[in-house]
Structure 1
């Protein structure tokens, strides 16, 4: 490999400093409350599994409570990224589920979700996981079909958004607010 290429992988700057204790505390409180409420809601609808508690929602909690100021965390990105990725994955499974291998469906669901999020300016990294969850999901998840983007996805992220609006704006710190923008 050319030396110039390998040099691009070297550090170009210093790592950022740790966030202040108050920001860390609010991030922990928000994540706890958000996932706890989602767990309660999920368990009230299903005793067999946590239907509304998806791994991609855990990743969203890290963003909307731990870094509420970044573009990935804004409501447009949170909702759009998840819902559009869910639509992509349902479309792929419904249209090509019997024609393509699982590996190809997995790769296409994430890649096309990234494309759609870029084109719609709704990039939210956990959206890729939302797409993948449907493709590799159980028969119960896949049986939802076109309901999947609405429930658990849209309903779940709306609940997380409401909790983020409450928790991220409780602080007396005027620099900690959410959202930075809606649209």
Structure 2
């Protein structure tokens, strides 16, 4: 177990404390639960076919790597929304060539996230899902940007703002940590 903790410290930007791991679990559980509830009960998506898989990766970042620049609110929201726009536009323009369309959507979403300082790795998957997703995703058209993408990202953010600030040693967003240090 000591070897595991030593390795974990090398790859994790968060303090290695049992409570940190527990809060990461609680946050990710509540975040994903809230999105699935929203989809099932409010969007009437009983089989969750509109649930965007990239939210699982976002949960890893916003609950498990709260100190990462890639998990900050600007990146979470901006990365997903920009990537959703790129994905939908790519599909509308290039759906006749799905291979090109897929590559174009992901590469362009990365480019735009970098240019706008909103790089969020799950955003690439959000763009790709708009291209290779089901007919139900394609039928949404530009609504894909609002629901499920923007709504899901805002749900994750709301839960992250609450859960990540309950313990005294966790701060989210990172600017909150910096502000508290300046006051001390």
What's the TM-score bracket when you normalise by the shorter of the two chains?
A: 0.7 to 0.9
What residue in structure 2 maps to residue 32 of structure 1?
Answer: 29
Stretches of structure 2 that go unaligned for 5 or more consecutive residues are 1-5, 177-184
What residue in structure 2 maps to residue 177 of structure 1?
Answer: 171
1:6-155 pair list within 5 angstroms: 17=9, 19-44=16-41, 45-98=43-96, 101-155=97-151
Q: Aligned partners of 1:168, 1:77: CA distance in 2, in Å? A: 17
8 Å contact from structure 1 (residues 38, 52) kept in 2: no
Task: Kindly provide the CA deviation profile for residues 21-61 of structure 1, in whole angstroms up to 9, marking residues without a partner as x.
Answer: 11111111111111111111111122442155221001000
Q: Aligned partners of 2:49, 2:66: CA distance in 1, in Å? A: 26
Stretches of structure 1 that go unaligned for 5 or more consecutive residues are 1-13
Task: Kindly provide the CA deviation profile for residues 138-163 of structure 1, in whole angstroms up to 9, marking residues without a partner as x.
Answer: 11101111111111111111111001
The total of aligned residue pairs comes to: 165
What residue in structure 2 maps to residue 10 of structure 1?
Answer: none
Task: Kindly provide the CA deviation profile for residues 52-84 of structure 1, in whole angstroms up to 9, marking residues without a partner as x.
Answer: 522100100000000111111000000000000
* Moved beyond 3 Å, runs of 4+: none
Q: Aligned partners of 2:17, 2:74: CA distance in 1, in Å? A: 27
Q: Aligned partners of 1:83, 1:168: CA distance in 2, in Å? A: 23
| Alignment RMSD (CA, Å) | 1.7
TM-score (norm 2): 0.84
For the pair shown, which has the larger CA radius of gyration, 1 or 2? 1
TM-score (norm 1): 0.84
Point out the structure with the larger helix share.
2
